[in-house]
Amino acid sequence: MDSILTRKFYARDTLAVARDLLGRDIVRVLEDGTRLACRITETEAYIGRTDKACHAYGGRRTARTETLFAPPGTAYIYLIYGMYHCLNFVTEGEGEPAAVLIRGAVPIENGDIIAKNRFGCKEKDMTAYQKKNFLNGPGKLCRGLALTRTQNGLDLTCPAGRLYVLPGAPPDPAQVRTGKRIGIDYAEEAVDFPWRFYL
């Protein structure tokens, strides 16, 4: 078994974790033991204490946000628009609501199964449009990896778990870009925070 990222990796400044997750490999283990894997290409940081775009801004605790207060290295999966799931990794110390949203990735293992989950076909049969839009969004990523609210709260640091992250191939820092986060027009001054990281 490859060594997985430990709780110490996640128990750091959220912006540092968001940047450091680029190039790492998410592994999703299905019920039958099949491994799906993809390499992270885009992330966004959310920090509750200062960030009006964070679900737990100002320490707001609800049934939906409770997972944000869990130990670092916990999967926080929520539903948006009643149809799309979003995968986040809880960061910083337990009780400090912060997380990194996984916005995009590329398949590296069992791409045919990931493609079937997304489009109902094998990877080689995808159209040019489908290839371009394979896992380039949080909802697309969750569909490809068969992640739903059922997996909310999973411990990412458990070697025998259903979801974890491998060291992967961290990119050259010169390849990393930063920018504004997407889809948070309601978040007042937080709209302009350069907390999106991508390759």
β-bridge mates for residue 128, sequence order: none
* pLDDT (0 to 100) of residue 2: 66
**Residues 179, 195: Cα–Cα separation, whole Å:** 6
* pLDDT (0 to 100) of residue 170: 87
**Residues 171, 161: Cα–Cα separation, whole Å:** 26
Place of tokens 């060594």: 3
Q: How confident is the model at residue 135 (pLDDT cuts 50, 70, 90)?
A: very high
In the chain, where are the structural domains located? Answer: 7-169
Model pTM score: 0.95
Q: What is the pLDDT of residues 9-22, one digit of tens each?
A: 999 999 999 999 99
* pLDDT (0 to 100) of residue 60: 86
Q: What is the pLDDT of residues 46-103, one digit of tens each?
A: 999 999 989 899 888 988 899 999 999 999 999 988 889 999 999 999 999 999 999 9
Q: What CATH architecture does domain 7-169 belong to?
A: Roll (3.10)
Of 37, 27, 12, 31, nearest to 159 by C-alpha is 27
Residue-by-residue DSSP string for 97-150: -EEEEEEEEEEEE-HHHHHHHHHSS-GGG--HHHHHTSS-SHHHHHHHTT--GG
Of 183, 153, 172, nearest to 70 by C-alpha is 153
